[in-house]
């Protein structure tokens, strides 16, 4: 008798409601996608800050207020920066596929996405560097020259040192921009959270996946901005 009632009781029991975190896609793929997004952002961000700083200093040095004024070279560098900044990232990513394959060996994955991310962001950060350094009081440069400072000492000890808080804020903006570009890279096989949102959140209409990925991106942006603001205040001795 009891054995006959058990199936009836099981059938009458209400089904357990599924929560968003029960989604196998979120449980199995979100962590890996998050690691890929952070890897893209960190690697491309470090390369962008390094090469963007060098390009920005080259723009300043060859510009009107530079120590090595060269209008022709400045014009060439400025045009390269303008062209790089005006190129839409999706188009740039597709156009750089041959170079990406040559450097990385593939055009898919987060490692491949770092190539167009870096190349696309270097001109953006270089222009921010130029603007920040040009805002440094020229009187401080003249004072350093009167004290016999060398060109290297003026560049790093005066210009970069005085503009460091703004450079850090500019780097923060650039890294957050790279984070957004890394999500866009998922549309063409770059992996990461963007790929997860497109494949499952959009194409398979999983609203919970889409919402979770948006929340993750917002949280990461908030953390990056907080760290950037703290570091900028720490080095600001004005």
Q: Mean pLDDT over residues 76-85, rounded?
A: 90
Q: How confident is the model at residue 111 (pLDDT cuts 50, 70, 90)?
A: confident
Q: Which of 58, 61, 101, 102 is nearest to 80 (CA)?
A: 58
- pLDDT by residue (tens digit) across 112-151? 888 889 999 999 999 999 999 888 877 777 777 777 677 7
Q: How many CB atoms lie within 10 A of CB 149?
A: 15
Q: How many CB atoms lie within 10 A of CB 168?
A: 22
Task: Yes or no: say if 42 and 182 are a contact pair by the CB < 8 Å rule.
Answer: no
Burial label, 80 (beta-carbon count in 10 A; 0-12, 13-18, 19+) = middle
Q: Could you tell me what percent of the chain has a pLDDT over 90? A: 26
Q: Is the dihedral of CA 175, 181, 183, 189 positive or negative?
A: negative
Residues for the chain: how many in total?
238
Q: Does residue 161 register a pLDDT over 80?
A: yes
Residue 21 confidence (pLDDT)? 60
| Alpha carbon of residue 101 to chain centroid | 21
Task: Yes or no: say if 136 and 197 are a contact pair by the CB < 8 Å rule.
Answer: no
Q: Which of 121, 103, 109, 99 is nearest to 44 (CA)?
A: 121
Residue 11 confidence (pLDDT)? 47
- pLDDT by residue (tens digit) across 174-231? 999 998 888 777 666 667 787 787 777 777 777 788 888 888 889 999 999 999 999 9
Residue 188 confidence (pLDDT)? 67
């Amino acid at each position: 008798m009891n054995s006959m009632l058990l199936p009836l009781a099981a059938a009458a029991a209400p089904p357990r409601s599924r929560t968003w975190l029960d989604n196998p896609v979120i449980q199995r793929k979100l962590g890996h996608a998050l690691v890929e997004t952070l890897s893209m952002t960190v690697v491309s961000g470090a390369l962008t800050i390094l090469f963007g700083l060098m390009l920005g200093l080259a723009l300043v040095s060859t510009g009107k207020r530079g120590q090595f004024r060269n209008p022709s070279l400045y014009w060439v560098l400025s045009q390269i920066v303008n062209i790089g900044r005006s190129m839409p990232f999706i188009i740039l990513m597709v156009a750089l596929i041959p170079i990406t394959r040559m450097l990385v060996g593939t055009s898919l994955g987060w490692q491949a996405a770092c190539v167009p991310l870096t190349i696309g962001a270097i001109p953006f950060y270089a222009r921010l560097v130029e603007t920040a350094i040009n805002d440094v009081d020229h009187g401080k440069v003249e004072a350093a020259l009167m004290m016999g400072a060398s060109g290297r000492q003026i560049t790093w000890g005066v210009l970069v040192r005085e503009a460091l808080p703004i450079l850090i804020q500019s780097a923060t903006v650039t890294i957050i921009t790279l984070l957004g570009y890394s999500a866009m890279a998922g549309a063409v096989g770059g992996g990461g959270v963007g790929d997860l949102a497109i494949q499952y959140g959009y194409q398979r209409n999983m609203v919970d996946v889409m919402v979770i990925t948006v929340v993750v991106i917002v949280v990461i942006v908030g953390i990056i901005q907080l760290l950037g603001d703290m570091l900028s205040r720490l080095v600001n001795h004005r």
